[in-house]
C-alpha cells in the first residue's frame, strides 16, 4: 500500500522499491494500491519545504512505482479485498503520517484513512500477516491496540553509521498502547501472536549504509511469507 512518491510527502522510494524487489526475489506475486485522493501537500525534496498552490493525487504519484499493464498497474485502495491476498505491506515515508493518517496534526489521537483502517482490521481479523516499514507502525498501532512493533531506537543516539531523529514517534506509539522493541536497521521484530512484522528502515538516517535498510526489508518480507503459510 503506497501513499505517494517521495520520503517527505508520500512513500519513500527506497522502501517501496526494496519491498517489491524482495517480494519478487522470494517468488511472491504482488499488486500495488494507493488511495485515489489528494495528498496533504507537495514537498520540494531539495529545500524540504511545501510547494505553494500545488496539489497531487496519491494514486497518480504512487503509479511512478508501477510497470506493466493490468494488475501490475497502481490500483485504487478502495478495491483491495482481504480475500484476494495472503498478506499486506505498508512501506514507510511521511505519506504515512500526512496522507494515510492525520498523525502529523493529531499525534496519538490521529484518524486513519478509512480504507487504511479497513484493510488493517480485515487482515488482522483474517489472521493474515501485516508488514510495516519505518513510520508505518503508527497506522497499525492506532487501528490494532496492544500489538508489538519496532521503530528502531527509543532515544536519538548517534551510532557509528547514522542517527535516530524520529524517536518522538516511538514514544507516541507506546502511548497508544503498543509495546515497542528496540532493533537495528537490518533487523525486524515479529509479533507472532498478531502476525505483525516491522522493520525500522528510514527511522534511521544514514548517508551511506542503505544496504542495512535493504537487508531489514528483506528480513521483513521473509517473515511475512513465512507467516502467510501458517
Q: How many CB atoms lie within 10 A of CB 168?
A: 9
Query: φ and ψ at 40, to 5 degrees?
Result: -55, -50
**Higher per-residue confidence, 156 vs 160:** 156
pLDDT band with cut points at 50, 70 and 90 for residue 157: confident
Report yes or no on 20 lying in a domain. Answer: yes
DSSP sequence for 158-199: --SSEE-TTHHHHHHHHHTTPEE----TT-EEEETTTTEEEE
Specify the pLDDT at position 71: 74
**How many H-runs (helices) and E-runs (strands) does the chain carry?**
8, 12
The pLDDT of 101-127, averaged and rounded, is 98
Dmax (CA) for the chain in angstroms is 49
Is 80:33 a contact under the CB 8 Å cutoff?
yes
Specify the pLDDT at position 50: 87
| Overall domain count for the chain | 1
Mean pLDDT taken over the chain: 95
pLDDT band with cut points at 50, 70 and 90 for residue 47: confident
Q: What is the pLDDT of residues 6-37, one digit of tens each?
A: 999 999 999 999 999 999 999 999 999 999 99
* Domain extent for 109: 13-227
pLDDT band with cut points at 50, 70 and 90 for residue 148: very high
Cα–Cα distances (Å) from 12 to 29, 147, 203, 227, 228, in that order, read 21, 24, 11, 25, 25
The pLDDT of 97-112, averaged and rounded, is 97
Take residue 161 and report the three cell numbers written for it.
553509521
Specify the pLDDT at position 88: 99
- Grid cell 514517534 is found at 169
Report yes or no on 116 lying in a domain. Answer: yes
Element of type H or E holding 89: strand 88-90
Residues 6+ apart with CB under 8 A from 181: 148, 149, 150, 189
Q: What is the pLDDT of residues 189-226, one digit of tens each?
A: 999 999 999 999 999 999 889 999 999 999 999 999 99
Whether the predicted pLDDT of 158 surpasses 80: no
User: How many Å apart are CA 94 and CA 55, to the nearest integer?
Assistant: 16
Report yes or no on 65 lying in a domain. Answer: yes
Report yes or no on 68 lying in a domain. Answer: yes
Is 86:122 a contact under the CB 8 Å cutoff?
no
The pLDDT of 132-157, averaged and rounded, is 95
Report yes or no on 102 lying in a domain. Answer: yes
Side-chain-facing half-sphere of 100: CA atoms under 13 Å: 36
Whether the predicted pLDDT of 131 surpasses 90: yes
Is 74:67 a contact under the CB 8 Å cutoff?
no
Whether the predicted pLDDT of 1 surpasses 80: yes
Specify the pLDDT at position 106: 97
Cα–Cα distances (Å) from 197 to 41, 75, 88, 171, 223, in that order, read 29, 24, 10, 19, 7
Contacts made by residues 151-159, CB under 8 angstroms, sequence distance 24+: 151/180, 151/198, 151/200, 151/203, 152/182, 152/183, 152/184, 152/185, 152/200, 152/203, 152/204, 153/182, 153/204, 154/180, 154/182
Q: What is the pLDDT of residues 169-187, one digit of tens each?
A: 999 999 999 999 999 999 9
Report yes or no on 7 lying in a domain. Answer: no
Give the CATH number of the domain where residue 24 resides: 3.40.50.880
Q: What is the pLDDT of residues 53-102, one digit of tens each?
A: 889 999 999 999 998 777 789 999 999 999 999 999 999 999 999 999 99
Specify the pLDDT at position 145: 83
Q: What is the pTM of this model?
A: 0.96
Take residue 155 and report the three cell numbers written for it.
532515544
Amino acid at each position: 500500500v503506497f501513499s505517494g512518491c517521495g520520503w517527505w510527502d508520500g512513500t519513500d522510494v527506497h522502501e517501496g522499491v526494496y519491498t517489491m524487489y524482495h517480494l519478487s526475489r522470494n517468488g511472491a506475486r504482488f499488486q500495488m494500491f494507493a488511495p485515489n485522493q489528494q495528498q496533504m501537500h507537495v514537498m520540494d525534496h531539495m529545500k524540504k519545504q511545501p510547494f505553494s498552490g500545488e496539489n497531487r493525487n496519491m494514486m497518480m504519484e504512487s503509479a511512478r512505482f508501477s510497470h506493466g499493464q493490468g494488475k501490475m498497474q497502481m490500483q485504487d485502495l478502495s478495491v483491495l479485498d482481504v480475500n484476494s491476498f495472503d498478506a499486506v505491506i505498508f512501506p514507510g515515508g511521511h505519506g504515512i503520517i500526512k496522507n494515510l493518517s492525520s498523525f502529523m496534526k493529531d499525534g496519538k489521537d490521529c484518524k486513519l484513512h478509512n480504507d487504511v483502517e479497513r484493510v488493517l482490521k480485515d487482515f488482522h481479523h483474517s489472521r493474515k500477516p501485516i508488514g510495516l516499514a519505518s513510520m508505518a507502525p503508527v497506522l497499525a498501532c492506532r487501528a490494532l491496540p496492544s500489538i508489538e512493533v519496532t521503530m528502531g531506537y527509543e532515544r536519538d543516539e548517534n551510532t557509528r553509521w547514522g542517527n535516530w531523529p524520529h524517536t518522538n514517534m516511538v514514544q507516541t506509539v507506546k502511548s497508544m498502547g503498543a509495546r515497542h522493541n528496540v532493533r537495528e536497521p537490518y533487523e525486524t521484530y515479529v509479533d507472532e501472536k498478531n502476525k505483525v512484522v516491522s522493520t525500522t528502515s528510514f527511522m534511521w538516517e544514514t548517508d551511506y549504509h542503505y544496504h542495512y535498510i535493504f537487508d531489514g526489508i528483506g528480513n521483513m518480507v521473509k517473515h511475512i511469507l513465512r507467516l502467510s503459510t501458517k
